[in-house]
Every structure is written in C-alpha cells, then in structure tokens.
C-alpha cells in the first residue's frame, strides 16, 4: 500500500517533467503509529531494486504483513492481554516498559 502510493507520486512527478536531479530526499509524514513489517530476506530484495520498475511490484514479496496496521488497529487485543499476564498485570508491564499494552503499538502487533 505504501509502496504503491509512492509509485503513483513518483510517476506523476515524472510525467509532469520534474527534475529528479534536484531531489535529495523524500519524507512521508502524518501517519501516527503505523508499522511496516519486513519479510526475512527483504534486505536482499532491496539490494536488487531496478530504478525503471515500480517499487510495489519489486517489493511485493518483501513484506511479512500485506497491510500496515495504524493507530486505530485493534486486532491484537489477545496479544496485549497475554503480554500483561506474562509479567503480572498491566501496571507491572507499565512499570517495566513505561506503557501498558495497547493494540496500536507495534509490540503487540
């Protein structure tokens, strides 16, 4: 999803005649608590990227989770409870880590 959006942006810039030699970096912001999970071996895939091909097709097998959970994610309630139980409750987890277990944080995801 992220790579396809980046591909769309870059293609629109290319079609509009943007001078990429003037681009030093790109930054994506405004997404709070968004997690992207790389597949084992993704580093090798990154080493073989071809600049003339779309990222989303080249990286299709590089992610272990196809979607990217964001701050509204609530799919890990069970894992949050397991984390809390493993250390003696939510307060103990907060004492150890500085935070209770929340579904939106990457630890439970």
Express each pLDDT in 34-91 by its tens digit.
788 899 999 999 999 998 999 999 999 999 888 788 888 888 899 999 999 999 999 9
pLDDT, residue 47, reads: 96
DSSP assignment of 48-69 equals T--TTS-HHHHTTTSBSSSS--
pLDDT at 28 over 80: no
80 vs 47, 61, 99, 107, CA distance in Å? 35, 28, 11, 9
Say what the pTM is.
0.66
């Amino acid at each position: 999803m992220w790579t396809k959006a980046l591909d769309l942006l870059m293609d629109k810039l290319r079609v509009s005649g943007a001078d990429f030699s003037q681009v030093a970096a790109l930054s994506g912001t405004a997404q709070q608590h968004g997690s992207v999970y790389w597949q084992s071996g993704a580093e090798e895939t990154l080493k073989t990227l071809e600049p003339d091909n779309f990222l989303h097709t080249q990286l299709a097998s590089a992610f272990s989770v196809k979607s990217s959970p964001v701050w509204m994610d609530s799919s890990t309630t069970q894992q949050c409870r397991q984390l809390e139980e493993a250390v003696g409750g939510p307060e103990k987890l907060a004492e150890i880590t500085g935070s209770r277990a929340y579904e939106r944080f990457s630890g439970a995801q």
